[in-house]
Structure 1
Amino acid sequence: MATQAASDPTPLPLALADVQMAAERIGGSIVRTPTLHSKTLSDLTGATVYLKFENLQFTAAYKERGALNTLLQLDDAARAKGVIAASAGNHAQGLAYHGNRLGIPVTIVMPKPTPTVKVTQTEGHGASVILEGETFDEAYAHARQLEASNGYTFVHPFDDPRIMAGQGTVALEMLADAPDIDTLIVPIGGGGLVSGMATVAKAADRAIEVVGVEAELFPSMYNRVKGTDLAIGGDTLAEGIAVKEPGTITAQVIEALVDDIVLVSERKLEESVSLLLQIEKTVVEGAGAAGLAALLSNQERFAGRTIGIVLCGGNIDTRLLANVLLRDLARSGRLARLRIRLQDRPGALFHVSRIFHEQGVNIIEVYHQRVFTSLPAKGLITDIECETRDGAHLDRLMAALRAAGYSVSMVELD
């Protein structure tokens, strides 16, 4: 990776000038999101951490940049006929929003299982949505058919130099606002964002390392550039970068300019979403937290560096966000479910709850289990969901219960 020599005669499909021209085109129509230093995350990781808040774009994602840059380069005939894309995510909303603003008809093809909220949001930005196929591949194939039959212009979500150039404007802004950044950590799905940002970083007058990040469940670009054959697929929190087939144009840039790609676990993605909400008071989707997840997973590698992380999107389902936050509370010991064996007699629960009171622990829920248990008929299993201050507080509670003669265990998360 990052092996193309300066004397290599093969030109890359993207240059710094392309990104700079994209910045001029889109400058007045997208949000110039802030790049801010995070003292708390810096103290936590041992690096100097800057965050780029792309979740503050109007559609809550950086995808607007590439979509707008592409739309603004269409000729009058193409504008009149309209554009089409296959997407159930941020690309659809960015294209729909700016197409509507520019008076360009936008058609989005989504798989039939796409959540209603995504369909509604995209239609709310003025696009016509067609539900076709059970998978993204089927929706994509239908979009290409409509492109051919109706004369639409197909706008690819990542494998297009115009898209890549638009996304690269993120790096122009970051490096202007935080010129000391020496390392960029960038999420990779199809590779449009990291391609554009690496193009800017490697044209700088100083050394800037570019590290891409993929979810462990979707190491598609990782496999391609490293020659591995890791399994691809599964339910990832980072659905915005859950791409099975990375771009061919983006791969060419990544192989030449990106220094490394790292993989992050689902647990680190969940932890990062929760940390950003707690520390920075900002909501990010799983893909938007991937950069921080990579930093948290590789603290020794990045210690002492000045890191730039892109919070690339904030579109996360509220119920999913609630689950992520509750799971993080459980893993940190602030929320727990304890399984306690009692004798089925009057006052048994009272005596247990008194210990919770003495330890200053709040009881949230109590679940009695008399029937579905291997205990004798007079045995009783009680699960008590409780709220503590931290892991140490939980340990003191469990020690007090055992000292009182109770058999107690914690119901663990996976």
Structure 2
Amino acid sequence: MKNPPHALAPAPGDVHAAADRIRPYARRTPLLDLEIDGRRVLLKLEYLQRGGSFKLRGALNAMLSMSPDDHVVAASGGNHGLAVATAASLLGRAATVYVPTTAPEAKARRIEAAGARLVRHGAAFAEAASAALDVAARPGHRFVHPYDDPAVIVGQGTVAAEIVADEPDVDTVVAAVGGGGLAAGTALAVAGRRVVAAEPEDCRCLHDALAAGKPVDSAVGSVASSATGASRVGEIAFDVLAAHDVTSVLVSDDEILQARDRLWEECRIAVEPAAAIAFAAWLAGRVPGKLPCLIVCGANADWVAR
């Protein structure tokens, strides 16, 4: 799923403009300052965002940048669709969200509950996206890309902008990667600080792209794939990440689930597996820096500990 040909490269100043634009609608989520295993770490509790994930920020910024009369169309494994549905409800706009038949029921029912029209189509995200793009080509309709749109990327970057504003001594920010929108927005927002992009070993589209020097197709298969299951990193997102010398690290599914369970045991934070990826990388010692901040990015699952 390619970005529009007219898309312009996002810039750091665009993140601050997006923050001003979405402020009336998005929550400013808190930082939690912890010591775990004798090490200090900050958690950005973005799972407390409206809609249950950071995705609301990008959806709001994209929708506030288009005509208010456009019927918004999205394709999603779940979180982006819920963000679009939530943003549409907040802004009083119509939205249709396509999801694959494999989308978690917890996410699908929340999309419908937010007021969007939900369409289940195809067994994989690519099939749902193709159907959504066909509908979005109709007059009066507009497609909101889940990660490879400049307005979406800079909207996601407002998460990191809040982090560095609230704790200027942060030297590393860790973001989980699906299609790369959150990590790219983070790189734009952190003003020279280190960015670590964390991915599951079996959903590693950014890692493979960095190795190849360009976006390439990558296998998808992880406990976190409903949220990080892009088979190819976004082209705009990749250009931003490559230009900012972002570090890529991988974590196993076992490490992700152990990190998710430990978030519950240590903090009573209940999140979906994708939101534990950054914490998993930090627990495994793959995150450098004296004061890192980990983005706990979403909680749209019917969660139970193992």
Aligned partner of 1:252 in structure 2 is: 239
2:255 to 239, 262, 268: 268
Aligned partner of 1:369 in structure 2 is: none
> What is the distance in 2 between the residues matched to 1:260 and 1:117?
32
Aligned partner of 2:206 in structure 1 is: 221
Measured against aligned partners, the alpha-carbon deviations of 1:243-297 in whole angstroms (never above 9, x if no partner) come to: 1111011000011114310000111101110111111111111111111111112
Aligned partner of 2:66 in structure 1 is: 74
Q: Does 1:208 align with 2:193?
A: yes
> What is the distance in 2 between the residues matched to 1:237 and 1:147?
28
Q: Does 1:196 align with 2:192?
A: no
**Cα pair 1:239 1:286 within 8 Å, conserved:** no
Structure 1 residue 231, shift from structure 2 partner:
6.3
1:305 to 287, 290, 306: 290
Q: Which has the higher contact order (CA 8 A, sep 6+)?
A: 2
Structure 1 residue 234, shift from structure 2 partner:
2.1
State the SS of the aligned residue for 1:194.
Answer: helix
Q: Show structure 1 runs of 5+ residues with no match.
A: 1-11, 327-414
> What is the distance in 1 between the residues matched to 2:58 and 2:218?
30
Measured against aligned partners, the alpha-carbon deviations of 1:340-377 in whole angstroms (never above 9, x if no partner) come to: xxxxxxxxxxxxxxxxxxxxxxxxxxxxxxxxxxxxxx
Aligned partner of 2:134 in structure 1 is: 145
- TM (normalized to structure 1)? 0.69
Q: Show structure 2 runs of 5+ residues with no match.
A: 1-7
Aligned partner of 2:52 in structure 1 is: 60
Q: Could you tell which deviates more after superposition, 239-248 or 162-171? A: 239-248
Aligned partner of 2:146 in structure 1 is: 157
**Cα pair 1:238 1:269 within 8 Å, conserved:** no
- TM (normalized to structure 2)? 0.92
> What is the distance in 1 between the residues matched to 2:19 and 2:136?
28
2:13 to 14, 17, 20: 17
**Cα pair 1:219 1:230 within 8 Å, conserved:** no
**Cα pair 1:238 1:285 within 8 Å, conserved:** no
Q: Which amino acid aligns with 2:236?
A: I
Q: Which amino acid aligns with 1:247?
A: G
Structure 1 residue 200, shift from structure 2 partner:
1.3
Aligned partner of 1:166 in structure 2 is: 155
> Aligned-residue CA RMSD in angstroms?
1.9
**Cα pair 2:218 2:231 within 8 Å, conserved:** no
Measured against aligned partners, the alpha-carbon deviations of 1:13-41 in whole angstroms (never above 9, x if no partner) come to: 111110000000111211100012112x2
> What is the distance in 2 between the residues matched to 1:159 and 1:71?
14
> What is the distance in 1 between the residues matched to 2:242 and 2:199?
15
2:33 to 37, 51, 55: 37
**Cα pair 1:69 1:166 within 8 Å, conserved:** yes
Q: Which amino acid aligns with 1:19?
A: V
**Cα pair 1:211 1:258 within 8 Å, conserved:** no
Q: How many residues align?
A: 297
> What is the distance in 2 between the residues matched to 1:29 and 1:57?
10
Structure 1 residue 298, shift from structure 2 partner:
2.1
**Cα pair 2:77 2:226 within 8 Å, conserved:** no
Q: Which amino acid aligns with 2:210?
A: V
Structure 2 CA distance for partners of 1:81 and 1:259, relative to 1, 3 Å:
closer
Aligned partner of 2:93 in structure 1 is: 104
State the SS of the aligned residue for 1:314.
Answer: coil
Rg larger for: 1
Structure 2 CA distance for partners of 1:88 and 1:180, relative to 1, 3 Å:
same
Structure 2 CA distance for partners of 1:140 and 1:209, relative to 1, 3 Å:
same
Structure 1 residue 134, shift from structure 2 partner:
2.1
Q: Does 1:280 align with 2:267?
A: yes
State the SS of the aligned residue for 1:50.
Answer: strand
